[in-house]
Amino acid sequence: MGMRVRGRLTGLGVTAAAVTAIATVSGMTGASASVAKPLEIAKPATAAAVTAPAWTAPKQTLREGEAGAAVKSLQERLNSLKYYAGPDDGKFGNDTLEAVWAFQEVNHLTVNGVVGSVTQRFLEHPRSYTPNDPHKVADRVEVNLGLGVLVLYINHEIALISHVSTGGHYYFNGGDYAKTPTGRFHALYYVSGWDQGPLGAMYNPTFFNYDGDAIHGDTAVPLAPVSHGCVRLPMDVAAFFHKYLHITEKPGAGTEIWIYDQWNKWTQ
C-alpha cells in the first residue's frame, strides 16, 4: 500500500492498525488487491427465474418474534429471491425482518416488516428489481437511494438484495450536510472488522471514494435514512458482502458501484 493511501486513510480517522489491516487482509502489496468470494454464496438467479418457482404463502400473518414452519417457509422464499433472511431456522429475527423490509421496498409496498395478505400475494408473484446502471456491466453494485436498497449483480444476475440506510439529509459538524453521493464509483479499499472513523464506527467498510464514504455494516440500519453519507448494511450482510467484490485502487478496476437518486433516477 502506497504512502498516499496510508496518509489519506489516517487523515480520515482510520487507525494505524486498521490501515495495516487493509494490506494484511487483502494481500495488498502494491496498489491493488481482490478478496476471494465466500463458499456459502448461493447460485445467483436470473431476473426471469425470480418468478419461476411455485410457492404458496402461509395463511397466517407473520411478524418479528414469531417462529415455526410458516416462518421457515418465508425464509426459504426470501432467500430464493436473493433477499438475505439468514438461516432457514424458522425464527423471525432481525435478519428476516430486514429481508422483508427490502422485499417490501422493491415491490413498492408499505414497509412495516409485517407479512400480511398483500405482502404474501407479492411473495407469490414478486416484481423483479429493474436495473438502472446505463452500462449494465456484469459485476456491479447498485444503490437505490429512493427505495432504500442495495443490489449486487454477479455475471449480470442478481446475487443479493439488501435493505440499506443512507444519508439522512441533516446538518452536522456546524455545516456539513448528510447526503450520500450519487454517481459512478469503484470498490477501492476495505478494512476488516470495526473501523473507528471520525464520525463513528463502521463494520467491514468497503470505501468507494477518498472522502471517507463506504458501504459498511452497522448495528442501526433503520427504515429512515440516518447516516452521515455512507451506505449502511445490516450486520449479517456486512459480514460477507465485501467478499463478493473485486477491491482495488487500480483506477477503474474495482467492482463498479452505482448510486442513484430518488426513485430510480440516475444523476451524473
- Given a contact cutoff of 8 angstroms between Cβ atoms, the answer to whether 53 and 46 are in contact is no
**CA-to-CA distance for 16 and 247, rounded, in angstroms?**
20
Question: What pLDDT is recorded for position 53?
Answer: 65
Look up residue 30 and give its three cell numbers.
502494491
Residues 34, 94 share a domain: no
Q: Is residue 150 part of a domain?
A: yes
Look up residue 208 and give its three cell numbers.
468507494
Q: Could you list the residue range(s) of the whole structural domain that residue 7 is in?
A: 3-39+136-263
- Given a contact cutoff of 8 angstroms between Cβ atoms, the answer to whether 168 and 124 are in contact is no
Average pLDDT, the chain: 81
The answer on pLDDT for 209 being more than 80 is: yes
Residues 142, 25 share a domain: yes
CB atoms within 10 A of CB 44: 16
The single-letter code of the amino acid at 59 is: K
Which of 4-13, 106-115, 198-207, 219-228 shows the lowest per-residue confidence on average (mean pLDDT)?
Answer: 4-13
**CA-to-CA distance for 34 and 187, rounded, in angstroms?**
10
Residues 12, 111 share a domain: no
Look up residue 14 and give its three cell numbers.
482510520
**CA-to-CA distance for 198 and 217, rounded, in angstroms?**
16
Q: Is residue 82 part of a domain?
A: yes
Higher pLDDT, 91 or 7: 91
Q: Is residue 131 part of a domain?
A: no
Residues 224, 169 share a domain: yes
Q: Is residue 215 part of a domain?
A: yes
Question: What pLDDT is recorded for position 130?
Answer: 87
What CATH number has the domain bearing residue 25? 2.40.440.10
Q: Is residue 268 part of a domain?
A: no
Residues 198, 163 share a domain: yes
Instruction: Out of 89, 104, 124, pick the residue that ends a domain.
Output: 124
- Sign of the torsion angle spanned by Cα atoms 103, 130, 262, 225: positive
State pLDDT tens for residues 25-54: 333 323 333 333 332 444 444 444 444 468
Residues 234, 144 share a domain: yes
Residues 205, 77 share a domain: no
What CATH number has the domain bearing residue 88? 1.10.101.10
Residues 143, 15 share a domain: yes
Residues 172, 108 share a domain: no
State pLDDT tens for residues 15-28: 444 433 333 333 33
Instruction: Out of 124, 151, 174, pick the residue that ends a domain.
Output: 124
Residues 147, 210 share a domain: yes
Residues 14, 143 share a domain: yes
Q: Is residue 174 part of a domain?
A: yes
Instruction: Out of 124, 152, 187, pick the residue that ends a domain.
Output: 124
Q: Is residue 129 part of a domain?
A: no
Q: Is residue 85 part of a domain?
A: yes
State pLDDT tens for residues 129-158: 988 877 789 999 999 999 999 999 999 999
- Given a contact cutoff of 8 angstroms between Cβ atoms, the answer to whether 96 and 74 are in contact is yes
Nearest residue to 25 (alpha-carbon basis) of 17, 16, 15, 35: 35
In order of 42, 75, 96, 133, the CA distances from 230 in angstroms are: 27, 28, 23, 20
**CA-to-CA distance for 28 and 192, rounded, in angstroms?**
13
Question: What pLDDT is recorded for position 169?
Answer: 83
- Specify the 3-state DSSP secondary structure of 67: strand
Count up the domains in the chain and report the number.
2
Backbone angles phi, psi at 112, to 5 degrees: -135, -5
Residues 259, 190 share a domain: yes
Question: What pLDDT is recorded for position 262?
Answer: 53
Where does the pLDDT of residue 4 fall: very low under 50, low under 70, confident under 90, or very high at 90 and above?
A: very low
